[in-house]
Structure 1
Amino acid sequence: MAESPWLTILGLGEDGLDGLPPASRQELDRAEVVMGPPRHLSLVPDIKAERIEWPVPFSDGLPILQGLRGRRVVVLASGDPFWFGAGSVIARHFAAEEWKAIPGQSTFSLAAARLAWPLEQTMTFGLHAAPLTRLRPHLARGLRAIILLRDGAAVAELTTYLNDTGFADTVLHVMEALGGPRERTQKMSLTEALLGSFEHPFCVGLEIAGSGDAIPKASGKPDAIFETDGQITKRPIRALTLSALAPQHGEHLWDIGGGTGSISIEWLMCDPTLTATTIEPLKDRAERIRRNAVALGQDRLEVIHGEAPDALNGLSLPDVVFIGGGLSDALLDWLAANLSAGTRLVANAVTLESEALLAVWHGKLGGDLLRIELAQASPLGPRRGWKSAYPVVQWSVTL
């Protein structure tokens, strides 16, 4: 018979031992060591096991936990450890047979029950260690969301952020110590929340309202949401480019010649499992890409200041590559020689020289070659006429 895991990740509620089912109580009774943040340890006073406080930052506790192999250990976490909790981080550092998890009631479930919100129609965010800008792609009138925040001061930061983005009429439900004897729920305006004082742990329910602009869900986001020096793939071309890139679950993108970062940022907006690295040779543009990524809730974008192909050495290989700048024979040679079979490649060209280059490579490797010509109505004397943009030639191929 296989040995039982030495490590148990235990979800704990605010009612401490009183709220634990028998299986969870048994794990604590058998434990030689109980490890967790000070607040969690204070919720389980009547145990005999050695107590170890989990340090800050969180990553410092992993070596301590690894040093406890061979003893029976319980790690205390909040609610459901695998819903914006510590469970997934711990599990990545230990073999599957070393640990098991016993989840408790999640904060999101408790909050939805208090508010009578259907959880499948409510967005959930863990922002205790992430920027508030993660909310930006989702902010729209009528949205309901439940979010976790790090401390009471973060409520004031949240109200300021919602006001600055134009959603000043949002209603907040601040819920403290859900499921415990100190539980309290308050419904308030942004102004009331800004002046309030709140005790951790807590979460906030949002009913978004106001005149702020929602970011469309379709590809081809408005140009105005990006900070730019003019070097940007414009909205209609960007929509066609994202269609050609065809993001799929879990894929990684290289965005070569990032410019404003609009392509890689929109790529990330398509699905939370997507990742991206953008390579930009100009330092000021690389910094601008970082600002755009953070402002639009895509702070997981990796930005590299460097010039391809040299800057590509050592990077994790992509599933998809977009070339928006720096197109050259040398770059295409490097990509053809170093990328895995099945990698999708999309390149946009505006100049005659780059068009000719794509025509040559289309002849070598095949794929699709598309010429995109757009015109927009604009004043022409007292009337209107069509003002043509520079045509774009787009090559897409699977290597």
Structure 2
Amino acid sequence: MTDRFVVIGIGADGWDGLGRRARDELSGAATIYGSARQLDLLPALVADLRPWDSPMSTHLAAVLATTAPIGTDGDVTEQDGTVHILASGDPMFHGIGTTIVRAVGASRVDVIPTVSSAALACARLGWDLTDVGILTTVARDLDSVADALTDGRNLVILSRDETTPAQLAQLLTDNGFGWSSITVLEQLGGPAERIVRGIARTWSEPAGDPLNVVAVSCIGPHRSRAPGHPDDEYANDGQITKQPIRALTVSALAPSHRQLLWDIGSGSGSISIEWLRSEPTGRVVAFERDDTRSAQLIANATRHGVRGRLTVGGAAPESLSTAPEPDVVFIGGGLSTPVLEAAWAALSEDGRLVANAVTLENQHLLTEWYGRHGGSLRRLSVETAAPLGTMTTWRPALPIVQWVVDKS
């Protein structure tokens, strides 16, 4: 049986950068898996070196699922049931080690890390690692970086390949951060280490080494994660929860670690987007029956850097039965008895439901459910100063009835 996986982090400095324990493990290994680049960093060993097939994820899954290590001819290659796997830097930092632990359990995995590329980058730049945002574009869309941009923030971004720096420069410029400084650090810690500096808006460096990280010092607008962004930040056809009500609604939804939100009748997606921006580990399934609004929602989520954590479903209540169980539900559009019944049934124990109603019929519906399940029922009214001839007066928006309830 494959009883044990040993995951060893290796940097661009190769064998010379490994500690004694890592060297002893590799020297005694029968089979070592890794990328071709990583395997080339090793000296002559008795081990059978196995580069990953493409796609790597499929090959790794096969290695983790087998009852014994696989040789080229299908024979067992290690009699003691141990598999050795190379990883880049710290395997538990956006690395393969996390994938392996999730698949087989921590009790069957030994991890031997070396210095991560993020730590090396901060050491070169003199940055405090605890005050730096660490992002990856290896397994996430480049657009996700937009979510982290704000004036004065330092970011270290793990690149997918040699094209990432130029793409990041364009993204920064498109989002109003064109004067941000960019530092590309290639082959960190190795003999071929190279550092290139420039400004996003004038970036013209040719593609370099595929093994690189990008450090960004953001210069641009201050961008808050707090809910209540201006309405004009979202493309919409008028079906949007307005700024002050949106701030109160996201606050009532109370985003928390790794929660899943159902946004029913999502329209422009402003609630979903501000939920995701408030909690970077959150996920959303947004239900919208109109295809045009769904496309608009996706465009808004992409612009705000949260597209990778948002899934667009179809109409409610028809599409609710196939979606994963929510921790939190928001109903903003399409409120009806069938939608409430389906959402309430799907909501996890101790989950929260928030519903907003404008019409008298829907407000009456929420009043009925409030009487049945409790919670809190509020009537929200907002007035905004606006011109009246040569003077100024208060223009009231339609009042909103909001029901907030925890399922217990």
In the superposition, the TM-score normalised over structure 2's length comes to 0.92
Distance 1:230 1:237 in 2: 15
Aligned counterpart, 2:200? 190
Distance 1:156 1:260 in 2: 30
Aligned counterpart, 1:85? 95
Q: Which runs of 5+ in 2 are unaligned?
A: 70-77
- What does 1:122-161 align with in structure 2 at a 5 Å threshold? 122-161=132-171
In the superposition, the TM-score normalised over structure 1's length comes to 0.94
- What does 1:42-57 align with in structure 2 at a 5 Å threshold? 42-57=40-55
Cα distance change, pair 204–336 in 1 and its aligned pair in 2 (3 A): closer
2:349 aligned with 1:320: no
Aligned counterpart, 1:390? 398
Distance 1:96 1:225 in 2: 43
Query: Equivalent of 1:295, from 303, 318, 341?
Result: 303
Cα distance change, pair 136–304 in 1 and its aligned pair in 2 (3 A): closer
Q: CA deviation at 1:390?
A: 0.8
Query: Equivalent of 1:10, from 2, 8, 11?
Result: 8
2:117 aligned with 1:119: no
Aligned counterpart, 1:373? 381
Query: Equivalent of 2:209, from 199, 215, 233?
Result: 199
Instruction: Kindly report structure 1 stretches of 4+ aligned residues shifted beyond 4 Å.
Output: none
Is this contact kept in 1: 2:2–2:68, CA < 8 A? no
Q: CA deviation at 1:131?
A: 2.1
Aligned counterpart, 1:62? 60
2:285 aligned with 1:286: no
The count of residues paired between Structure 1 and Structure 2 equals: 395
- What does 1:214-363 align with in structure 2 at a 5 Å threshold? 214-363=222-371
Any idea what SS the aligned residue of 2:23 has? helix
Distance 1:80 1:20 in 2: 12
Q: 1:58-85 CA distances to partner (integer Å, 9 max, x unpaired)? A: 3212233133725332111110011111
Any idea what SS the aligned residue of 2:250 has? helix
Aligned counterpart, 1:33? 31
Aligned counterpart, 1:168? 178
Q: 1:294-335 CA distances to partner (integer Å, 9 max, x unpaired)? A: 221112334333222221113221121110011112222333
Q: CA deviation at 1:348?
A: 0.2
Aligned counterpart, 2:72? none
Any idea what SS the aligned residue of 2:114 has? coil
Distance 2:167 2:112 in 1: 34
Distance 1:80 1:98 in 2: 18
Q: CA deviation at 1:98?
A: 2.5
Is this contact kept in 1: 2:326–2:346, CA < 8 A? no
Counterpart residue type for residue 58 of structure 2: D
Cα distance change, pair 68–179 in 1 and its aligned pair in 2 (3 A): farther
Any idea what SS the aligned residue of 1:313 has? helix
Distance 2:321 2:108 in 1: 36
Distance 2:306 2:264 in 1: 18
Aligned counterpart, 2:73? none
Counterpart residue type for residue 319 of structure 1: D
Q: CA deviation at 1:189?
A: 2.4
**Further displaced range: 104-113 or 168-177:** 168-177
**Further displaced range: 32-41 or 47-56:** 47-56
Is this contact kept in 2: 1:125–1:148, CA < 8 A? yes
Q: 1:271-304 CA distances to partner (integer Å, 9 max, x unpaired)? A: 2222221111112212222222222111233433
Distance 1:200 1:290 in 2: 30
Any idea what SS the aligned residue of 2:335 has? coil
Cα distance change, pair 378–198 in 1 and its aligned pair in 2 (3 A): same
Q: CA deviation at 1:4?
A: 10
Distance 1:172 1:128 in 2: 18
Q: Which runs of 5+ in 1 are unaligned?
A: none
Distance 1:190 1:280 in 2: 37
Counterpart residue type for residue 267 of structure 1: W
Distance 1:263 1:387 in 2: 24
Q: CA deviation at 1:191?
A: 5.7
